[in-house]
Structure 1
Amino acid sequence: MVYTVDLALDVEKALAKLSDDDHQQVMELIAAALVEPNSCPTPGGWGWALRLGPRLWIVFTACLDGIDVVSLGANEDLAPAA
């Protein structure tokens, strides 16, 4: 049995909290992933990809009709804890 979970609502909430500049950067990361198909996981599979920008990152998965952003955050979130 296959289950589909829609995580878009959580990403929408996160996008709403971003500054205009950060929101623009997330949109640019999404656009860059869409125009570079070699950076995308196999559509409909279980794979995901990480795309980094200067300040933010997105984790996304590919679908037959585009990509779904699963998570996003600030680059300092990736820094190891001291």
Structure 2
Amino acid sequence: MPYEVDLTIRVEDALEDLPPQGRQEVMETIAAALVQPRAWPEPGGWHAAVTFGPRSWVSLTAFLDGIQVINVGWAG
């Protein structure tokens, strides 16, 4: 089943500010979160989850067929 990813404006802005290496790692962390729907928070409401990469993190909420990335970070 294909899933959707929605990035908040805050996340889009953060990705633009990252160097290429950071942007790549954050996108890989988002992809890793996307393919693990069992780790998503309960869809709807205010529940959130955090997924970590080697030097990045992604905060997300879930809806029935995908995730919304609400914040990202990279310690580079």
The gaps in structure 2 that reach 5 residues or longer are 1-6
Higher strand share: 2
* Cα distance in 2 between the residues matched to 1:49 and 1:35: 14
Higher helix share: 1
1:52 Cα shift?
A: 0.9
TM-score where L is the length of structure 2: 0.80
1:75 Cα shift?
A: 4.5
TM-score where L is the length of structure 1: 0.75
* Cα distance in 2 between the residues matched to 1:49 and 1:73: 14
Q: Percent identity?
A: 50
1:38 Cα shift?
A: 1.2
1:64 Cα shift?
A: 2.2
Cα RMSD of the aligned pairs, angstroms, is 1.8
| Bigger RCO of structures 1 and 2 (CA < 8 A, at least 6 apart) | 2
State how many pairs are aligned: 70
